[in-house]
Amino acid sequence: MKMRKLGSELTVSALGLGCMGMSHAYGGQDEAEAIRTLHHAVDSGVTFFDTAEVYGPFENEKLVGKALKPHRDKVTIATKFGFKIEGGTSNGVNSHPDHIRAVAEASLQRLGIEVIDLFYQHRVDPAVPIEDVVGTLKDLIAEGKIRTIGLSEAGPETLRRAHAVHPIAALQSEYSLWVRDPESTVLPVCRELGIGFVPYSPLGRGMLAGSVRTQADLAENDFRKTLPRFQPENLAANNAQIDLIEQIAAGKQITPAQLALAWVLNQAEFIVPIPGTRKISRLNENIKAAEISLSAEELKQIGAIITPDQVSGKRYTDASLAMTGL
């Protein structure tokens, strides 16, 4: 597996693994299968693993900590704070300094580690200046509780203000062939300031891999059924785009998932996608994308054929973007 830098301190595999779906949101979780997949990821050269307290809540951190304990010296573990978790669900944001400290201590315990490698603010809290948030995280670095600082779904101005207090290692936001907003907003800032960029949902929550054609492809309790893009009429409309992706991939003798991931990976060397999967077969498929090179002309052509303006349905409801970290 090729390696990439996130900021100045973290060197990780070019492709990470998003662990949320192993215990949260997508239904049909199987802990034994998840642990086998996590171990296989390490054996295959994946060193970067992403979780959060809100996934479960709490259960995903426990799972990741348990599975990766034998491999702690080989892996970089990222987790997140920033939500009020009440009654087993997230209920708004909270990045007050005392809450950040409490979450850091609890996450360390659940993960069973002595230091969090990358600690993200999961969503920006409008009630707490970003300078106060990063100042608290800077203190946690000095205390040896965390190694580096990350933000998620933050805008360019917030990113600049945060970086002025302490270097930010990574920004995590949704980015794929279907979600291009970062290209004109935060990617230029990441490039300028030397901040790594970590795309979540680089496979469009499964659609760009061709694995979701109708709601029948989703488990009964799969949260995607609540998202606009996954409503029956939008899924039907988006199948035309999936057909195009499959045609392009077939012409290159790769899978649609590998095409979508390679497109993201080839955008810049500071980009480290974290596609999620619970299955070893899908993990093996995704890993191969890190070896696929696409020229500037190929990237342009693919990006012109598959475009966000042709996608039917928003990625989130307005409320869920602010309230959840999914």
Residue 16 vs residues 82, 178, 227: alpha-carbon distances, Å = 22, 20, 25
From the candidates 55, 120, 175, 200, give the one annotated as an active-site residue: 55
SS (H, E, C) 95-151: CCHHHHHHHHHHHHHHHCCCCEEEEEECCCCCCCCHHHHHHHHHHHHHCCCEEEEEE
How many CA atoms within 13 Å lie on the side-chain side of 190?
31
Q: Are 10 and 169 in contact (CB under 8 A)?
A: yes
Report how far residue 177's alpha carbon sits from residue 324's, in angstroms, rounded to the nearest whole number.
22
> CB-based contacts of 129: which residues, under 8 Å, 6+ apart?
none
Contact by Cβ (8 Å): 33, 277: no
Residue type, 74: K
Is residue 11 classed as helix, strand or coil in its secondary structure? strand
Which residues have CB under 8 Å from 29's CB, separation 6+?
A: 21, 22, 23, 278
The residue type found at 57 is: P
* E-strand stretches of 27-75: 48-50
Annotated active-site residue 26? The verdict is no
Residue 297 CB: number of other CB atoms within 10 A? Answer: 8
Type of residue at 280:
I
Token pair belonging to 232: 């029956």
CA angle 46, 51, 54 (to 5 degrees): 170
Q: How far is 155 from 82, CA to CA, in rounded Å?
A: 16
Using an 8 Å Cβ cutoff, are 277 and 15 in contact?
A: no
Which residues participate in catalysis according to the annotation?
A: 55
